[in-house]
């Protein structure tokens, strides 16, 4: 019987469902999946053709906003490890270095080196020649802060790939020094301090390249990043994570230089550091003053522990005369620690005991006199009773100070 389309039946019963011709993802075999994904790189959705077309432009660069956009997109893509692996497969280091020698477009150089730096940070097998490293390091002679920032990122990354950085020469360290003492670009200064700490770690570069003036330049850079603030603002600055990184890089660098002295017995460096240490110590006094407040000190964290232990090491390696701007805040810190957190007492007390060991009785009596006498006596008696076995003699001087109070 024919069904009249104009009949009143507007909601007929649904027909029985038929089998779907679609297939689900788990039904696709490996070969089909590969065809559907086309030229995707690894497990990403990024295109091999896009990468190759972008790199082909290195052979005859016609700089434009489109080329810049494509390169920036490739730069972002290198956050994916599969993309980094693929770029090594297509010899990106060789292509990049050839282009860096050939062209002088600043933005192109910045992006190419930035991609290079990302590849060096990727956790994948790397194939890099010393000649290629030197081509990038030569860009340290650039005056462009954005290029220099990427070169520093590259240098920082490769510093972890070698036990000794034989390709870093005096001219490169001189450029580090110049950037630190003359640049006003805070991003560049922070990455330069970070890189300086990395390349001097474990005596990786030639000791002859390290001069005392490098410390003064590092302090100059540190102060530029920190800003020209008054004392109250200095306390506020130390709250930020960025400023603590700034402090860490500066202290780590000087610790590394002391490592050269400790391991290689470089007397020249001791003398040169002594000439340039006072400005560093002024900054450390401000840092310790920040921690001389209970709200900033407690709970004691690993960052503060690094600061104290590093400063103790530095001042023992570079024998320094008595420093009141260190000893006064350390006493304030120990007053708090002895009462609120005695488990952390010993490693902080070591820094105080070192300066007691090198200070004169007259200066110690004068500076410790700024605190209530009984508080000072209790602190020193606590140290005397514990009789810590430090590697320097402090007990005799400590007892003499107690007798003077």
pLDDT tens-place string over residues 29-47: 444 444 434 578 888 889 9
Distance, CA of 198 to chain centre? 8
Structure tokens at 325: 């701007």
232, 289 Cβ separation under 8 angstroms = no
Taken in order 300, 245, 242, 328, is the CA torsion positive or negative?
positive
Give me the pLDDT at residue 39, please.
75
Q: Which of 12-21, 55-64, 201-210 has the lowest mean pLDDT?
A: 12-21
Give me the pLDDT at residue 41, please.
86
Provide the whole-model pTM: 0.87
251, 310 Cβ separation under 8 angstroms = yes
DSSP letter for each residue of 178-218: HHHHH---HHHHHHHHHHHHHHTGGG-S-GGG--THHHHHH
pLDDT tens-place string over residues 74-127: 999 999 999 999 999 999 999 999 999 999 999 999 999 999 999 999 988 888
Please choose, from the candidates 332, 336, 296, 329, the residue with its C-alpha nearest in 3D space to the C-alpha of residue 311.
Answer: 329
Q: How far apart are CA 260 and CA 314, in angstroms?
A: 12
Rounded to the nearest integer, the mean pLDDT of the chain is 89
pLDDT tens-place string over residues 232-265: 455 667 888 888 999 999 999 999 999 999 999 9
Taken in order 142, 146, 149, 150, is the CA torsion positive or negative?
negative
DSSP structural state of residue 287: H
């Amino acid at each position: 019987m024919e069904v009249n389309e104009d009949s009143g039946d507007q909601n007929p019963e649904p027909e029985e469902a038929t089998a779907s011709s679609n297939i689900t993802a788990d039904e696709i075999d490996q070969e089909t999946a590969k065809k559907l994904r086309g030229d995707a790189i690894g497990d990403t959705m990024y295109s091999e053709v896009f990468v190759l077309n972008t790199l082909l432009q290195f052979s005859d660069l016609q700089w434009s906003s489109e080329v810049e956009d494509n390169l920036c997109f490739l730069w972002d893509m290198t956050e994916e490890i599969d993309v980094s692996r693929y770029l090594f497969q297509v010899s990106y280091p060789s292509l990049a270095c050839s282009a860096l020698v050939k062209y002088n477009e600043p933005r192109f150089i910045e992006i190419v080196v930035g991609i290079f730096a990302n590849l060096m940070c990727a956790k994948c097998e790397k194939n890099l020649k010393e000649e290629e490293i030197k081509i990038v390091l030569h860009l340290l002679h650039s005056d462009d802060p954005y290029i220099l920032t990427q070169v520093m990122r590259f240098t920082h990354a490769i510093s972890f790939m070698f036990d000794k950085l034989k390709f870093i020469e005096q001219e490169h360290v001189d450029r580090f020094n110049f950037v630190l003492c003359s640049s006003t670009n805070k991003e560049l200064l922070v990455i330069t301090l970070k890189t300086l700490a990395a390349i001097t770690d474990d005596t990786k570069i030639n000791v002859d390249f390290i001069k005392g003036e490098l410390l003064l330049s590092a302090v100059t850079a540190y102060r530029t990043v920190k800003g020209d603030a008054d004392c109250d603002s200095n306390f506020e600055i130390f709250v930020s994570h960025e400023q603590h990184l700034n402090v860490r890089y500066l202290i780590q660098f000087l610790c590394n230089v002391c490592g050269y002295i400790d391991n290689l017995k470089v007397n020249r460096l001791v003398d040169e550091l002594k000439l340039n240490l006072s400005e560093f110590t002024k900054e450390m006094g401000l840092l310790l003053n920040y921690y001389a407040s209970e709200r900033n000190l407690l709970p004691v964290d690993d960052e503060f522990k690094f600061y104290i232990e590093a400063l103790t090491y530095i001042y023992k390696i570079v024998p320094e005369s008595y420093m009141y701007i260190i000893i006064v805040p350390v006493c304030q810190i120990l007053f708090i620690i002895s009462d609120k957190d005695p488990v952390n007492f010993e490693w902080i007390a070591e820094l105080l005991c070192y300066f007691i060991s090198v200070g004169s009785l007259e200066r110690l009596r004068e500076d410790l006199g700024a605190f209530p006498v009984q508080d000072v006596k209790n602190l020193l008696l606590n140290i005397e009773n514990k009789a810590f076995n430090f590697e320097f003699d402090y007990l005799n001087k400590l007892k003499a100070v107690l007798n003077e109070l």
